[in-house]
Structures are given as structure tokens and as C-alpha cells.
A = this chain, B = another copy of it.
């Protein structure tokens, strides 16, 4: 049991070690499954991920997306219909060609994403403008044979909680409006998770396979590397044409639909853990924590029953929250460590003194503060929970702002790139800028321009080629 006490790693000094250890110790992920990039999700981590994803699912439903479920295995002939998309997934898509006993008639692809499965069906469903817009989402497992270093929650070969939304519209303008709606949905989602982000329009050369353009939500982890949190993609009519999704418009003419899609995955929970955690483990927002309040009895011989009864009473009075009364055999000190490690926002200690005085002692997980409340002041607990969330948000925001730097020359860029994002003047994010981006490859990646658009540079030069800078772009080293 004393093992839990040993958890103290300097998160900012040794993030990689901190991350893996906190995942294992806090029962988020067991990373010992014998297949690269595939992990076991422990009860506490699973609960946390589900709580996070359900926030987004609810938002999508509020915005009139319907939830459906499509098969995991996609016939090869369906998967290859959109050429650029197919080429984009050449290296990553897993193939099923047989059972243990016999070859299949047609190979099946383990979905790396579900455009092709969905749009095959939509071409049968969509007939008239009156059926549009069609807005569908699902949360499913997907498979990508990542060649880079894999890492629990962040870089996976099986993503277990891929939330993908797909839409079809009658006009280009409606699809563009949908892109805006999707961005607002994701804004709200990441705000609820207290995760700070930049919204970036991807350069032409990095656009999603088969798409017109896409926006990415990006954040920074404590080691200064950036992480893509989610992607909002305008597919134009490419898939509509490849899958022959046509509708009869008001004017009687047959037209191809305009499509968008957007997705996030459990890596957002990896970001949440990494950004809010401290050297003692997780720190969770009050609204999201699987256990919001833990009650720890400080037992005294011969008074156990009285103290435990009082604990039960407090637990019942707080029943609108997710409360755990820890009656295990561990010492109070061990319990403190375990629940701190798991990031439970509010700890309530109850000993003989509390019972005698009709009070409770509260410790906040986010800051060192102990608060005594009388039993008739329990409604203040919710307020304290909200203060914790507010404080975590403020801390994260401040930290994130310090991670966005500026550079006008290579020296500055090299110096600042370790911190997170660096804004630089750049020649172009269409195909013309590709060369300059490639020249920076060993130092950093050009992720694109800010959304909403910033003021253009005036009298600045591209940091690489020295020609007139037409845009500010963001550079970073990414996961």
C-alpha cells in the first residue's frame, strides 16, 4: 500500500515519466498489453473518458446530430472509392483477409475513420433536398497503424473513443455554416474540459485526405510539444461525387451534396490530465471528476461507530454529488495520497473533533486550503467545487498564454520553439509555401494560420525565404 506514497515526480522536469506513471498509478491506463499502441483502460480512466465524451455527445444532440452506429469492417472496394482519401490511409489502414481457417472473398479494412462506410449508405438514403441537412455522429473504436512512437491516450493504434460527426448539405454555403457550428461545439467542449487551445487553419499541403480545407484545435503539453485535439473538415463535394450522393433540389435538378466532418478522441483526456495535473497526480474539474468528493474517516478507538455514522450522514446529505466514503483498511495518510493521485477535487476529513463540533474539514485538491464547514453549511460544497474548476481554468489559461511566443528570425524561432507555439511571418500557406515549411522541418512544423483570421503582417519578411510575408503562421513541435 505504501507504494502510492512514492508518487512524486516533477511533472515539468520529466513529463514523459510523470505521464506514464500517473496513468498507471491512478488506474487510468495499463500500458502492458502485448500489442504496440493498444492499451487496457482501467475502471477509473474509463469512467473519466466516458464522462468527457458524454459532454460532447450531448452537445452534438442539442445541435440536432443523430447518433447512429456503422460497422467496423469496410469492404476494400468501398474503402477505395475516393482516391486521395485512399492514398492518404495507405500506410495506416489494417487489412483483414482471412479467418484462422480460410481466405475471405473480399478483404475488409478495419476502419481508420468512417467516411466510406457512412457515405455508401447515404447514397441510398438521400433523395431530396427535404432530407438535408443530414447530421450524424458515432463514438467508436478505430484503427491506425501509427509508425511513430505510440503513447497511451495520445498516440494509439486502436483509438477506443473516436467521436466522429458527419454532415451533408444542399449548398456550399450551408456546409460552411456547419463548419462554424462545429467549431463552436468544440470550443464549448474544450472550455468545459478547461483545456486551452488555438484554432488553426491547416496549410494546403497538410489538409485531410480528400478534403477542401480543415481547422485543427491544438494545445500544448508540459514538455512544450503540441497536440492536435480535434479536427473540423470541409469535404466539399469530393466524397459526394465518389459515392454518388445526389439529391433532387427545389429547382428539380439533381445535385451532389456538400459535406463536412469533425472528430475528437480520448487524447483530449490525455491533454486534460497533462495540463491540470501536478507533482502529486491528477487534478480534475469538479463537474467531470468520476468521484467529486471523498470522505475519509479519521477513526479513534472505541469511537469508530459514532464517527462512521456521522460520515454516512454527511454522505447522504451530499447525495446529489458523486461521493465515496473510503472505509478501507488503509491509514488516513495512505488514503490522502491515493485520492490526491486520482485528482478527487474535494476531500472531507471527519474525526472525533468534527463529530463533536457538528462540522466537517474540507481540503481542496487544487490548492493548499483547509476549510471548516458547519453541518448546516453543506450547500457551500458546490460553491467550493465551482471555485476549484474556476481556479484550474485560470491556471491553465495563464500557463498556456506563456506558451505562445513570437519570432522574426531563425535564432528566435530555435530558442522559442521548445516552449510551445511560435508565431512567425511566413510567405504563404498555399502550395507556394510548402518549400519554406520543408526547410524548417528539422526545427519545427508549420501548423497554419489562426482562426478567426489575424491581422496580416505589414512590411514583414518570410522567416525562411525572405520574400514578403503574406500571413502569420504558427510553428511548433508536435506529438
Contact = CB atoms under 8 A, between A and B. Distances in A.
Given A40-B121, A73-B94, A96-B96, 6 more contacts: A41-B68, A43-B66, A43-B67, A71-B158, A73-B158, A95-B99
Please indicate which of the listed interface residues A39, A108, A140 has the most CB atoms of chain B within 10 Å of its own CB: A108
Contacts of A141: 72, 140-141
B91 A68 contact: no
Contacts of A38: 71-73
Contacts of A97: 95, 97-98
A93 B104 CA distance: 12
A321 interface: no
Contacts of A67: 43, 46-47
B143 A73 contact: yes
Interface string A33-50: 111001111110011000
A94 B96 contact: yes
A465 interface: no
A89 interface: yes
Interface string A222-265: 00000000000000000000000000000000000000000000
12 contacts: A33-B71, A34-B78, A40-B121, A41-B68, A41-B70, A42-B68, A43-B66, A69-B160, A73-B94, A90-B101, A91-B100, A97-B97
Given A91-B101, A92-B99, A121 B75 contact: no
A33 B117 contact: yes
Nearest to A66: B43
B95 A68 contact: no
A47 to B, nearest CB: 7
Contacts of A43: 66-68
A452 to B, nearest CB: 33
Q: Closest 4 A-B residue pairs measured CB to CB?
A: A41-B69, A38-B71, A43-B66, A99-B145
